[in-house]
Amino acid sequence: MTDEPPLRRRPTEELPGNAPQHPPSAQPQPAGEGADPTNGGPVPLTAPRDGTPEPAATPAELAEVVARFAAGTGPVALDAERASGYRYSQRAYLVQLRRAGAGTALIDPLPLPDLSALDAVIGEAEWVLHAASQDLPCLAEVGLRPRRLFDTELAARLAGFERVGLAALTEQLLGFTLEKHHSAADWSSRPLPESWLTYAALDVELLTDLRDALDAELARQGKSAWAEEEFAALVRTGARPPRVRAEPWRRTSGIHRLRGARAQARVRSMWYARDQIAARRDAAPGRVLPDSAIIAAAELDPKDEKTLLTLPGFGGRSVRRLARTWLAALDDARQLPDDSLPVSPAVEGPPPPHRWAERDPVAAGRLARCREVVIRISGAHNLPPENLITPDSIRRLAWTPPEELSEASVAETLRGLNAREWQIGLLTPDLTEA
């Protein structure tokens, strides 16, 4: 539990978690229309209780943050802001923390790329994050790696909440609304506006209060041990960078419209040309050239600049400057011998489920029965089926079941597919029968 007095939530409604109340003096001031707390409505949270701090950007300022958080107590709420959609990298451009006795701190990791000194003083505390898997890789890049954590989004999923976004949960459980209109901002820009910094500080303002409410609800439902297993798995694997796909160009939006290996070769050639430019500029690939433009060029295969620039997506000045690059990529694909054209990738694991009935009707029957088990048990325990077991795990089990069928062999198969022990315990008897 946090040692920091929680903010006061709406008193007119009984909500899961039964979070403790905060002295009235700490309640944020309501703002905006429809925010009248006297009628039981949610209260907009517009400013941190201690004010909006300036981001630490020098070694001396970082040392002061480290000292404050070393003296703090209880869990540490953390968040990170990236610039997805603007930058090629997924690095953190702002790190936010809050802890009882330390207050809120914002850190600019551009001039301070090594936060290992901070990690040393908060590493043994429980870290509270929302959707931790999104932030753990970029936090690891700056030297922040949790030993224990509590993921409020994952906890809400396990507890059966339908809306698990941070703003939805703080409104439902704590009675405060958070504005999320800066969530897609370009956090790599400098200086960061004051309103953005306030938004960032508010993202950690309520995390420990939310953690306590969700922890109480998980305990009430008898799911605390499940959450502990899930959080431990995040600690083990959450900081790993995303797996690099063997042929990432195949995910180009609209590629399904193309026919023929030669057209796919044009997509591949243009995709890699764009990717090199995006990496060099540290710009999101879609800002260099949209997917729709790649598909249009792959369909028409223009051979001169005039024709290329008439296609949708090629009208921008920066795109036009690279016309020779795009034409060269198309020409490279044009010159490829037939034996160098893309071929359908080998499918790893089971085929798509819609093909099971014709390829292996017996396996299709197993899959249907196993899915029925997952839906029934997830419904009985009030949690999403995908949090009970990953769909891929069920497909692999149904396509290639153990040769010697028993509860022990099914459990071992699920364990090999990275299922947690609580999932194995719930599912194994009925999956074995199915």
Report the percentage of the chain scoring pLDDT > 70. 91
Q: Average pLDDT of 189-199? A: 96
- Residue 13 has a pLDDT of 40
Backbone angles phi, psi at 410, to 5 degrees: -65, -40
Nearest-angstrom CA–CA distance, 166 and 176: 11
Q: Express each pLDDT in 389-399 by its tens digit.
A: 999 999 999 99
Q: Which two tokens stand for residue 360?
A: 């292996």
7 contacts 206 by C-beta, under 8 angstroms: yes
- Is it the case that residue 22 has pLDDT exceeding 60? no
- Residue 32 has a pLDDT of 33
Q: Average pLDDT of 101-116? A: 98
Q: Express each pLDDT in 310-327 by its tens digit.
A: 999 998 899 999 999 999
Q: Average pLDDT of 348-357? A: 88
Closest CA to 433 of 355, 351, 372, 386: 372
- Residue 35 has a pLDDT of 40
- Residue 234 has a pLDDT of 96
Q: Express each pLDDT in 143-172 by its tens digit.
A: 999 999 999 999 999 999 999 999 999 999
Neighbouring-strand partners of residue 56 = 107
- Is it the case that residue 15 has pLDDT exceeding 70? no
Q: Express each pLDDT in 236-252 by its tens digit.
A: 998 887 777 889 999 99
Task: Tell whether pTM > 0.75.
Answer: yes
Instruction: Give the residue with greater pLDDT, 13 vs 174.
Output: 174
- Residue 88 has a pLDDT of 96
- Is it the case that residue 25 has pLDDT exceeding 70? no
- Residue 23 has a pLDDT of 30
If you search the block for the tokens 């908060």, which residue do you land on? 122
Rg of the chain in Å (alpha carbons): 26
Give the pLDDT band of residue 131 (cuts 50, 70, 90): very high
Average pLDDT, the chain: 90
Angle between helices 421-433 and 361-380 in degrees, nearest 10: 130
- Is it the case that residue 357 has pLDDT exceeding 90? yes
Give the pLDDT band of residue 279 (cuts 50, 70, 90): very high
- Residue 12 has a pLDDT of 36
- Residue 14 has a pLDDT of 41
Q: Average pLDDT of 328-351? A: 91
- Is it the case that residue 414 has pLDDT exceeding 80? yes
- Is it the case that residue 36 has pLDDT exceeding 50? no
Residues 6+ apart with CB under 8 A from 401: 366, 410, 413
Nearest-angstrom CA–CA distance, 172 and 178: 11
Q: Express each pLDDT in 63-85 by its tens digit.
A: 999 999 999 999 999 999 999 99
138 contacts 110 by C-beta, under 8 angstroms: no
- Residue 40 has a pLDDT of 64
Neighbouring-strand partners of residue 99 = 76, 103
Q: Average pLDDT of 367-386? A: 97
- Is it the case that residue 24 has pLDDT exceeding 60? no
Q: Average pLDDT of 281-304? A: 97
